Amino acid sequence: MSAVCVLTPLVIGSWPVVSAAVAGALASMGFSVATRTGEPIIRTRNRIEETIDNSEVLEEHMSRGEMVTAEKGDVRVEVGRDERGTCKVCVSGEGYTDGQLRKVAREISARIVQQYTYHKVVSELKSRRFTVAGEQVAADGTIKLHIRRVGR
Amino acid sequence: MDQPEFQIEIRPDGQVKVLVKGVSGQQCMSYADLLADIIGKETSRERTAEYYEQDAAVRIQAHQKRK
């Protein structure tokens, strides 16, 4: 017997968990990644800010102003938590239009959600005696997992 | 013997599609609930043709036993 569900992920977690997904997402997109604490460096006029829908970064285990930063070519990215606790993605790049930067910010946001969901699904199911029997990434970037119960 | 299996697709736009199979009707729904709890908000849920085929087979067997 079988059933099919379509789900919209919620990204709710402590900063160490969320920032690991952020770093993984940015690295997979070819960015060089670092973490830092303090005031945002991105202050140029060419700056776009996006928040990740359905996200909440819990304040515990997070220093004030802590963020993940990344660079690729002329594009600079900062990912942190806004005042309401939502995960925030800032992208800047001299010579880029707002539209181009927003496209980059949305791609990064979507990749963060994908990475967070992947790690949450795998870790939660492993703790319930399931195992990943197969895993592949399709040409369009979809992660396909085949998960089975271990023994009885 | 029930052997739950999940086929999970995590799309680059964040949407997730889950196929739960290998378990009987009520258990199948329980596993779908578990995955919804882990991942987030459920947009839709459908029982597949396989679900109804096997459910019907169980009903026929039960009917035959009652005769």
Least CB–CB distance from A142: residue in B9, B20, B28: B9
Global pTM reads 0.86
Contact in structure between A146 and B10 (CB atoms under 8 Å): no
CB of B38 within 8 A of CB of A121?
Answer: yes
pLDDT above 80 (res B56): no
Per-residue pLDDT tens digits for A73-112: 999 999 999 989 999 999 999 889 999 999 999 999 999 9
Taking the Cβ of residue A8 and every Cβ of chain B, the question of whether any pair is shorter than 8 Å is answered with yes
d(CA A79, CA A116): 14
Chain B interface disruption, residue of A7, A11, A28, most B CBs within 10 A: A7
- The 10s digit of each residue's pLDDT in A11-23 is 999 999 999 999 9
Mean pLDDT of chain A: 90
* pLDDT score at B51: 60
Is the confidence at residue A144, as pLDDT, over 60?
Answer: yes
Q: Which of B22, B38, B43 sits opposite A121 (nearest CB)?
A: B38
